[in-house]
Amino acid sequence: MPSFDIASKVDLQTLDNAINTVKKEIANRFDFKNSPVSIDLNKKDFKVNIEVESDMKMKQVIDVIISRSMKQGIDSNAFDFSKDAYPSGKVVKKEVSVRNGLKQEDAKKIVKLIKDADLKVQAAIMDDVIRVTGKKIDDLQSAIAACRSANLGIPLQFINMKS
C-alpha cells in the first residue's frame, strides 16, 4: 500500500551554515561597524540568541537571518519570532526558537485537514511525523496538494514516499 510521511524538521548543519553566513554578512556591513552584535546558535535547544544595540538593528539582523536561511533551503516559517526583544544594559536581546518536529496540536490540525478533504487516505500520527497511506498514489498526491495549499504556518516536508 503506498504511503508517505509528513514531517517538519530543520537540518542542523544547514541551520548552522545559514547562521555562519549571517555572521559573516553582518561583520562586513558598514552600518554594523563598531557596534556590538552577537548571534549564537544553541544546537542542543535549536535556539538562536541575538544581541544588538538597538531595535532597528534587531530588525535588520532578523531580515538577514530570514533571507540567508531561505537561500540555504530553510523555510522562513521555521523561525519563531513571536517573543519580544528585551533590553539588557546597553544591548537588546532576543531569543528566536527554531521549530523542529511537529507538535501534537499541529499534527492534529494536519490530520483533520486531510480527513476534511474527503480523500481516500488514512492519516496516523507517529511521534513527530504523520504517516499517510492510501490505495492509489494519486490520492496521496492530492493529500500533499491539500497540505501545501493550506496555510498552516509550519514548514512541511513530504518524505519516505513508498509505492
What is the pLDDT tens value at each position of the chain, 163 positions in all? Answer: 899 999 988 899 999 999 999 999 999 989 888 888 999 999 999 999 999 998 999 999 999 999 999 999 998 889 998 888 888 888 999 999 998 888 899 899 999 999 988 889 999 998 889 999 999 999 999 999 999 888 888 888 898 888 7
Domain span at 143: 3-8+101-162
Helices (H), the chain: 12-28, 55-71, 104-116, 137-149
Among 71, 76, 79, 72, smallest CA distance to 50 is for: 79
Grid look-up 552584535 returns: 37
* pLDDT confidence of residue 160: 87
* pLDDT confidence of residue 162: 86
Last residue of one domain, picked from the residues 98, 116, 134: 98
Please check whether residues 19 and 79 belong to one and the same domain.
yes
Please check whether residues 94 and 132 belong to one and the same domain.
no
Q: pTM score, two decimals?
A: 0.82
* pLDDT confidence of residue 44: 92
The whole-angstrom separation of Cα 130 and Cα 7 is: 7
User: Which neighbouring-strand residues pair with 129?
Assistant: 126
Q: Residue 144: phi, psi to the nearest 5?
A: -65, -45
Residue 44: partners with Cβ closer than 8 Å, 6 or more residues away:
none
Please check whether residues 92 and 141 belong to one and the same domain.
no
Instruction: Answer left, alpha or beta for residue 66, where phi above 0 means left and psi between -120 and 50 means alpha.
Output: alpha
Last residue of one domain, picked from the residues 98, 122, 138: 98
Q: Is 142 exposed, middle or buried (0-12, 13-18, 19+ CB in 10 A)?
A: middle
Cβ–Cβ < 8 Å for 159, 147: no
* pLDDT confidence of residue 40: 95
